[in-house]
Amino acid sequence: MGDDADPDAFDGLEALDDVALARIAHGRVADSPESRMLAQRAARILAGRRPAPDPTPPVVDQSLADGPDAADAPRASRVSVRVLIAAALAVVALIAVALVAIPREPPAFAVVERPATPRERVLDERLAGTGGLLFSGVRVLQSVVLTEPGELLELVAYRGGASPRTPPSERTVCLAVFAADRLWSRTCLPEPAFLSGGDVSILESLPGAELRYGWGPGGTSSVQLTPTGPTDLVELTAMGLPAVRNLVLAAEDGPSFLVRSLELITRPSGRPEALFGPAELARVDETWILIGAVRRSPTPGGELEVCAIATRIGVASAPIDSSCVTASEFASAGIATPPADGLRPFVYAWRPDGTIELEGLTSTP
């Protein structure tokens, strides 16, 4: 063929082989419309002669599959899988370590997260006024009704710390017990010790009672006040003490002005009024007088007290001896001053069997 394609040549392209067609389609310069058309026609014929792709996958020769390259590919794949598994396990281990390193607050601390009640806000202020450093607010764990109406035994908890910036290692877990609205006991444990499983457990002796209370990381709490003896007149008279029976008889007509005045003067601060009495037990030469009374315990819900007062009559600023013991102590030994030592103006003894001794040792105060 020449440089310009002859139109009649289109019909002869079908008879050419692939090499000739390729030379026409790709090996000449298409510098005229006819030449370009001839090249495009040859390219279409050549493309039509190429076989379609075989959908059947090629058969791999077993000898080639068993060669070194074929063996390396699965091994490399297995190595990659092992690397991925190891990396995943390492990530899981790091997450587990991080979770362990994060301090976990025990279930017990959930109580300090709830909103405070009006009563808890009052107790919060009272504890803060006693020098307590409160990192969290006070929360009541348990309330127990005592012997008197309206008197409660309240176990409260709080987390101690100077401020929210106080590190956990320096914080404390504290318990406090209020009885009849007064703070009776308080104890604190370092917070790390509490978190490690150390329960707060306290047994404390109070006047006329034993107080036991505790709290653990799991949230279990307990508080119990156990009187050491009788808490009312029925229980006291049931002990069958002649001294108590005599006191009841002596108090039937009520106290005289002198007896009432002496009882008011000598009543220790915080002591409740007498349940029965005061009553005059004995008088010597119209100079010395011994008075008896039974009072409630200074500890709400505690054992009753038996009290004795001795003084000189008619002398201003006369010495006064006032002593109180629990009812069970009185049943065992009564009330008595130490033996005469030359320094006391009088000695006395009031025994459980009802006998009384009163002796003035001097004639001056």
Residue 122 has pLDDT above 50, yes or no: yes
Q: How many residues does the chain have?
A: 365
Sign, Cα dihedral of 319, 324, 325, 331 = positive
**Which of 222, 190, 219 lies closest to 111 in space, CA to CA?**
219
Strand 172-179 and strand 356-360: the pairing is: unpaired
- Residue 364: pLDDT over 50: no
**What are the tokens at 269?**
């601060």
Q: Give the 3-state secondary structure of residue 177.
A: strand
Pairing of strands 182-190, 221-227: unpaired
More confident: 26 or 200: 200
In this structure, the number of other CB atoms found within 10 A of the CB of residue 130 comes to 9
Phi, psi of 139 (to 5 degrees): -130, 135
Three-state SS at 210: strand
Can you tell me the mean pLDDT for 97-101?
A: 39
Interval 259-305: pLDDT, tens = 888 888 777 666 677 888 899 999 988 888 999 999 999 888 899 99
Residue 65 has what pLDDT?
A: 44
Q: Residue 341: CB partners within 8 Å, gap ≥ 6?
A: none
In contact, 139 and 157? CB cutoff 8 Å: yes
Res. 207: pLDDT tops 80:
yes
pLDDT band at 363 (very low <50, low <70, confident <90, very high): very low
CB-based contact 275:365 (threshold 8 Å): no
The predicted model gives 212-221 an average pLDDT of 92
Of the pLDDT bands very low, low, confident and very high (cuts 50, 70, 90), residue 92 is very low
Q: What burial class does residue 73 get, using C-beta atoms within 10 Å of its C-beta: 0-12 exposed, 13-18 middle, 19+ buried?
A: exposed
Q: What is the mean pLDDT of the chain?
A: 78
196 or 21, higher pLDDT: 196
